[in-house]
Amino acid sequence: MHLGQRLGLFTIIVLGEGVAQLVMVGPEANWDHTLRALGLAGFLLLVPIWRLSLVHGYGGVPNLREAALPPRLVLLLHCLTNGALTALAAGLGASVEHRHDELPTSVRCVLCANFAAYVIIAALAAIMSRRTANTSTRWTALLSHLLPPLALSLATGFFGNDLPSVAVVWLLVAAAGWGLLGYVAQRGRRGIAQRA
């Protein structure tokens, strides 16, 4: 229990760094529509990541269940997850710097590849959690839940050459939001079943 709490707190700090990267532009910047839209998109990208990592995960690892893995493997997944989130935060900061231009290929690749890594970690954690619980992996649900965000982030990374910064971040918001849809639909079905 304590390990998960400590790792979760560290993940909150890393996500806070993402918010800091968005607002580090400082008071000297002209807060025009592009900067506001990019700031909102960056925040809306971090919110589903927070929810997936800490509400629907364990120790900051999305889709991982407590006691699904030995602590050494939880630490490894936590390190990989937070490494991806740290790079994503740096990419958000760089996207703010390039807000009026096309996003440089290196920054776009950092954003999209690290979001894709986060999705892959989420898929691995979901599979490991189900195996540990001796329940079968629902491949259709897992693939429909995680494949669209992975495909969108990789497509944006590979083919988004002419996209402005704000468009790249909003596409990642859509991908992250899709990752939460399964949980929202699941909760809605539970609510309907409880009322019936």
pLDDT greater than 50 at residue 96: yes
Residue 187 banded pLDDT, cuts 50, 70, 90: low
More confident residue, 101 or 164: 164
Residue 140 banded pLDDT, cuts 50, 70, 90: confident
Maximum average pLDDT range among 4-8, 51-55, 63-67, 150-154: 150-154
Q: Are 163 and 156 in contact (CB under 8 A)?
A: yes
36 CB neighbour count, 10 Å cutoff: 11
- Nearest 5°: phi and psi at 102? -65, 145
Residue 30 banded pLDDT, cuts 50, 70, 90: confident
Measure the CA–CA gap between 118 and 139, rounded to whole angstroms: 19
Measure the CA–CA gap between 182 and 155, rounded to whole angstroms: 22
144 CB neighbour count, 10 Å cutoff: 13
* Averaged pLDDT for residues 2-18: 86
Token representation of residue 30: 């002209």
Residue 194's pLDDT is 43
Cβ neighbours for 79, distance < 8 A, ≥ 6 positions apart? none
Q: Are 168 and 154 in contact (CB under 8 A)?
A: no
Residue 156's pLDDT is 96
Paired with 58 in beta bridges are 61
Q: What is the mean pLDDT of the chain?
A: 87
More confident residue, 140 or 173: 173
Residue 184's pLDDT is 60
H helix or E strand, kind and range, residue 57: strand 57-58
pLDDT greater than 60 at residue 104: yes
pLDDT greater than 80 at residue 29: no
pLDDT greater than 70 at residue 77: yes
